[in-house]
Amino acid sequence: MTRTTTPVNFTLDLRGRTGSRSGQVARALIDVIASGQVHDGDRLPSTRTLAATFGVARAAAVGAYEELTAAGFLVAQPGGSTCVEHGAGAAARAGTFGAGPPALPAWPDPLAAAGPRARCLSRPAGYDLRPGQADTGLISGRDWTRAMRLATASALAPQDVIAQLREQLCGHLRRARGLAVDPDDIFPFPSVGIALRAVAAVCALTGRPVAFEDPGYAKARVALHQAGAVVRPVPVDEDGVRAGDLRATDRACYVTPAHQFPLGGRMPVGRRADLLVWANACDGLVLEDDYDGEFRYDVPPLTPLRAMPAAADRVVYFGTSSKILSRGLRISWAVLPARFRGAMIRYLDEWGEDVSQVSAAFLANFIATGALTRHHSRVMRTYRARHGRFVAACRELVPAARALGIEAGLHVVLVFDGPLDDTAAVARLAEAGLACLPLSGLCAGPAPTRRSGLICGYSLLPETMAQGAAALIGQVTGKLMAVR
């Protein structure tokens, strides 16, 4: 029987790509799948036809097909044909191909208040000290590819994928954070912001006062505001929020007790207990965002507030995969008190924004195979070294600054012993090729009362570059403070 040749009905764009030729072809094919030019189940042209059509060596086409088959995006069929695997489109759009996870986003403007000059810079960031980023280059390519292959080969129904993810997250929280919860109370979301909006609707926060850390995580504050909550800023000190600053009329309080964002304090047990006393006395909720609780240095672990006795009915716990793995997965979760379980199920049935099924299956497999535990152990060694080198360099080269939040997390805050216009400092540093954030931009109060400082992430800063980054910070801030 004569075999029918599959025509080439897509465009393969190889311009500007780097790496091996087979890798270039593979990534161009991923773009074709992601854009919908070919769909799940479609048969692809032979490697000979592909090579002749686009002017590449057949060996490059063969290598690309083999690479994508190993990663679970293509599947070899009996008779020698190659087809797009089911689920490949969603995986390609989620950016889940390669020896590692999706690349970090290009440097967007973190300097909304720094003026048009800073926003229009064309110079790339030689030192990327934006907080909240994981170094995706530290992820094992073998572990990543294995989990993705298992995810794309799964024939589970969507509800079964989510059930699998819940079970695996339940085990992860128990092992990594000392938190025992019922998997049925774990609800996955594409982001913590979306989770907060859902919780606000389900837990009747709309139109009610919600106490919020000041300074605090701006995206969470915006999410609650968008959900209709009345956000009330509450000042924090180096130990976080004080229960004495909360009101009986507050319906909830948003906190980051493991590593206060951005100041970095670890809330002591006494204050945690006081929060629960307030919540029980006022029928309130504590919204605990454990955004980077997996990372701590030379200090004993503090289990989440949710793990304390009597917290299960009063604390909504939020977590995310973005700090330990990659933002590109777009998987976060909320652990609700059991009394809200039914209401959240009904809300999601009507209004919910689902997580990617491929990302959910991938994360479940990444946890189940032990890859997440291995990854955490590996990155902790790297982040600890980067943290230590950067903090030491700042102490040497930025003598006017004091580093806060150095016991945990992936960022530090530099606060200065004299007046500093941190917005101007961030703009000047951006001009010189260093990206960080101004502390004042995360304060909710009027400008004269806002705290000043620089929020510096070190997760993407190699140890060899710590001295240069600190020297640049010291030079820029020193000049600005001298002018005053």
Residue-wise pLDDT tens digits, 250-260: 999 999 999 99
| Pair of tokens at residue 117 | 């000059």
How distant, in Å, are the alpha carbons of 135, 160, 227, 372, 454 from that of 429?
A: 22, 48, 35, 35, 11
pLDDT at 228 over 50: yes
> Which residues are bridge partners to 232 per DSSP?
211
CA 107 to chain centre: 15
- The confidence band for 342, taking pLDDT boundaries of 50, 70 and 90, is very high
pLDDT tens, position by position, 276-323:
999 999 999 999 999 888 888 877 777 899 999 889 999 999 999 999
The tens digit of pLDDT for each residue in 434-468 reads 999 999 999 987 766 788 999 999 999 999 999 99
Task: Write the single-letter amino acid at 58.
Answer: R
> For the chain, which domains are there?
21-93 (1.10.10.10), 116-139+374-483 (3.90.1150.10), 142-369 (3.40.640.10)
What is the model's pLDDT at position 2? Answer: 44
The answer on pLDDT for 479 being more than 60 is: yes
Q: Is the pLDDT of residue 367 over 80?
A: yes
What average pLDDT does the segment 214-243 reach?
94
pLDDT reading at 387 higher than 60: yes
Higher-pLDDT residue of 5, 83: 83
pTM score: 0.75
Q: What local confidence, expressed as pLDDT, does residue 117 receive?
A: 36
Q: Kindly indicate the confidence band of residue 112, based on its pLDDT and cuts at 50, 70 and 90.
A: very low
Nearest CA to 111 out of 480, 428, 457, 484 is that of 428
Residue 225's SS3 state is helix
**Cα 302 to the chain's mean position, in Å?**
21
Rounded to whole angstroms, how far apart are CA atoms 208 and 128? 39
Provide the terminal-to-terminal Cα distance of the chain, rounded to the nearest Å. Answer: 86
pLDDT at 97: 54
Separation between Cα atoms, residue 275 and residue 349, nearest integer Å = 32
Q: Which pLDDT value is given to residue 164?
A: 96
Q: Beta partners for 316?
A: 287
